[in-house]
Amino acid sequence: MKILVLIKEVPDMQKVEFDSERGRVNRANAPAEINPFDENALETACELKKAREDVDVTALTMGPPRAEGSLRIAYARGADHGILLTDAKFGGADTCATSKTLAAAIRKKGGYDLILCGEKSVDGDTAQVGAEVAEFLGIPHCYYVEKIDKLTSGHIEVTAEDLWGMKQTRRMPLPALVSVTKNITTPKLPTVRRRLESREIEIERMNLSSLEDILTPEETGAKGSPTKVNKVVIPPEVKRESVVFREEPDGFMDALASVFLEKGLV
C-alpha cells in the first residue's frame, strides 16, 4: 500500500514578518518548519506502516529549493521517500494553482492508495488544498478526520468531526484523500539514527518540465491563479475597555444607556 503525505514548509509564525507594501508574508527571515498539522498526518502514516507490513510512505512538498530540508525531517520522522516539487514558475500560486500542481505530480507518479494531509496550514490557513487536490484527482476525500478506524486494500473507514462537533463514521473506496486534525495522534521525535540517515538520502525533484504532458505553464504559479489580491491591510489594534456597573438592577439600564451615549455608541 502506497501512502502519500502532503507536507507544507511554513515559517515559524512567532518570527514571521508581514510585508505590508507588497501585501505578502515575508518568509525570508523566519526559520522554516513542517506545518504542525502535517506532522500529525505524517505520524498517522507511520503508525499505519507499523500496523501493516506492506505500507510505503512518501512525503511530497511544493515549495522553494530550501523545502528539501523539511523532506529530510519527514524521512527522519519515518517517511520512506521525499519528493520536492520546485520551479520558479510555481511561484505566486494561490490554493487552486497549488492544488492543481500537486495533483499533477501525484498523477504523474501514480499508484498512491491513500493521500494524507493536514486540516490546514498555519500560515495560509485556508484549509482548501486537500479537498482541491482530491477534486483535481477525481477521488473521494474526507476532512477533519480524528481516527482511522480501518484500512483495507480497497477501503478506508474514518471518524471525522464536523464543525458543529458531531462525529461521523465514513467509509470510502481507495484511492482517497484524508485530512487529519491534531487530535488524531501525537507526533514522535525522530531517532538519532534516522536523523543521521536523513542527511544522506536522495530527495527526488520534480519541476514544470517533469509535468509538461499534464500541466501547462498557464495552469500553475501566478498565471494559473484565479485569486487576485488587490490590497492587504492589517486591521488596527482594537482597544478594549471595560466598565463595571455597581448600580442596583433598577438603576442599571440608565447607567448603561449613559455609557453608550457618552462613548457615542448610539
Residue 44, interface with ligand FAD (CB under 6 A)?
A: no
One residue of 26, 128, 159, 207 binding ligand FAD per CB under 6 A: 128
Q: Does 145 bind ligand FAD (CB under 6 A)?
A: no
Q: Which of 40, 86, 121, 210 binds ligand FAD (CB under 6 A)?
A: 121
| Dihedral sign from CA coordinates of 5, 9, 14, 19 | negative
Give me the phi and psi of 201, to 5 degrees please.
-70, 155
Asked if 152 interacts with ligand FAD (CB under 6 A), we say: no
Which region, judged by CB under 6 A, interacts with ligand FAD, from 45-53, 119-127, 156-164, 254-262?
A: 119-127
Q: Is 221 left (phi over 0), alpha (psi -120 to 50) or beta?
A: left
Q: How far is the CB of 219 from ligand FAD (least distance, A)?
A: 14
Whole-angstrom distance between the N-terminal and C-terminal Cα of the chain? 64
**Closest approach of ligand FAD to the CB of residue 252, in Å:** 45
Residues 3, 7, 137, 208: which binds ligand FAD (CB under 6 A)?
Answer: 7
**Amino acid occupying residue 129:** V
* Number of other CB atoms surrounding residue 230 within 10 Å: 5
Residue 118 near ligand FAD by CB under 6 A: yes
* Strands (DSSP E) found in 134-228: 141-151, 155-161, 167-173, 176-180, 204-206
Span of 68-76, 92-100, 107-115, 197-205 interacting with ligand FAD by CB under 6 A: 92-100
Do strands 114-118 and 176-180 pair parallel, antiparallel, or not at all (unpaired)?
Answer: parallel
Contacts of 144 (CB under 8 A, 6+ apart): 119, 160, 161, 162, 163, 179, 181
Q: How far apart are CA 37 and CA 232, in angstroms?
A: 26
**Using the rule CB under 6 A, which residue among 34, 44, 63, 100 binds ligand FAD?**
63
Binding of residue 35 to ligand FAD (CB under 6 A): yes
Distance in Å, CB of 26 to ligand FAD, minimum: 11
Q: According to the binding rule CB under 6 A, does residue 227 interact with ligand FAD?
A: yes
- Closest CB to ligand FAD among 6 and 211? 6
77 binds ligand FAD, rule: CB under 6 A: no
Give the span between the Cα atoms of 241 and 107, in whole angstroms. Answer: 55
Cα–Cα distance, 170 to 167 (Å, whole number) = 10
126 binds ligand FAD (CB under 6 A): yes
When asked if residue 42 is in the footprint of ligand FAD (CB under 6 A), the reply is: no
Binding site for ligand FAD (CB under 6 A): 6-8, 35, 37-38, 60-63, 91-95, 98, 102, 117-118, 120-121, 123-130, 225, 227, 229
